[in-house]
Structure 1
Amino acid sequence: MDQPTTTTGNGIRANGGNISLWILQIVLGGLFIINFGPGKLLGSEQSVELFADIGAGQWLRYVTGTLEVAGGLGLLIPRLSGLAALGLTGVMGGAALTDMVIVDESPIAPLILLIAAAVIAWFRRDRSLAVLQQLRARRSPARS
């Protein structure tokens, strides 16, 4: 007999979809935590040259590396995974735009990362909304 298919509130299959999403989150998080962010924070020759070419100063390299490591870590925390993915979508959007407009390189790599982060952000949007609602409730004074 076929077992009933259950879905989460945002339409992904309860087991297979969630497992696939977690695999994507772990892989993407690992890339940002181990590969991309530390290279910027530790000042790899390639990232120092890249940010020199951008012309905004090395402070942007530190900010970008910090956002990448924090976003990668956030992908591994269930409650924060959607917001982290949303943040990484913005960072990768900036990277793709910078590659196209300023350093005249192919934006394919950041666009692939942007799409992966956007998929996570979309399917974890219920978690993101729950966190934002909790923060909003804490800020609002109790009404009697």
Structure 2
Amino acid sequence: MSTAMTRTTTVTRRVRPGTVALWVVQVVLAAMFVMAALPKLSGDPVMVDMFGAVGAGQWLRYVVGVLELAGAIGLLVPRLCGLAAGGLALLLVGASLTNIFALGASPAIPIGYLLVAAAIAWFRRASIRVAVRR
């Protein structure tokens, strides 16, 4: 009779602080976009009035809410996070321009979010390349 020995191999994975920080920023940004999307999609009177002031119609409120929610979900999916951040950055360009030209409001908040989304897209550019090649 022989006794079989089994070997257990342990794989150690190095967690890089920069990667952890990037994921934390992505989760926080995703939460912010969920909080921004829900009032638009639920018909909050403030959002209805704001999009009424823009003059494009309430359909735009729904489109923006859906895009914000989709972008928030995409930020949490490793294969999509770079594309989602890029898409949200483009959405925020529109939000900044809308604040300036249609609402006469400060674009500081959308520009701040734009910078964060653009930074995520930059750091996730490898995932964007892979997604585009597919």
Interval containing the TM-score (normalised by the shorter chain): 0.7 to 0.9
Return 5+ residue gaps in structure 2 as ranges.
Answer: 1-14
For residues 21 and 119 of structure 2, the distance between their equivalents in structure 1, rounded to whole angstroms, comes to 11
1:53 is aligned to: 53
Q: 1:32 Cα deviation (Å)?
A: 0.9
Match of 2:3 in 1: none
> How many Å apart are 1:121 and its aligned residue?
0.4
Q: TM-score, with normalisation over the residues of structure 2? A: 0.88
Q: Distance in 2 between matches of 1:97 and 1:17?
A: 32
Partners in 1 of 2:40 and 2:115 — Cα distance? 22
CA distance in 2, matches of 1:18, 1:113: 20
Give the aligned partner of residue 138 of structure 1: none
Alignment of 1:1-144 (within 5 A): 15-33=16-34, 35-134=35-134
Runs of 4+ aligned structure 1 residues displaced above 4 Å come to none
1:97 CA displacement: 0.5
Q: How much does 1:68 deviate?
A: 0.1
* AA in 2 matched with 1:79: R
Q: Which residue of 2 aligns with 1:3?
A: none
Aligned residue pair count: 120
Q: What is the TM-score normalised by the length of structure 1?
A: 0.82
Counterpart CA distance in 1 for 2:46 and 2:118 is 27
Identity %: 45
| 1:81-137: CA deviation from partner (whole Å, max 9, x where unpaired) | 000000000111100100011100010010011001000000001001101101xxx
> Please, what is the CA RMSD of the aligned residues?
0.8
> Which structure has the greater CA radius of gyration?
2
**1:45 CA displacement:** 1.0
Question: 1:5 matched to which residue of 2?
Answer: none
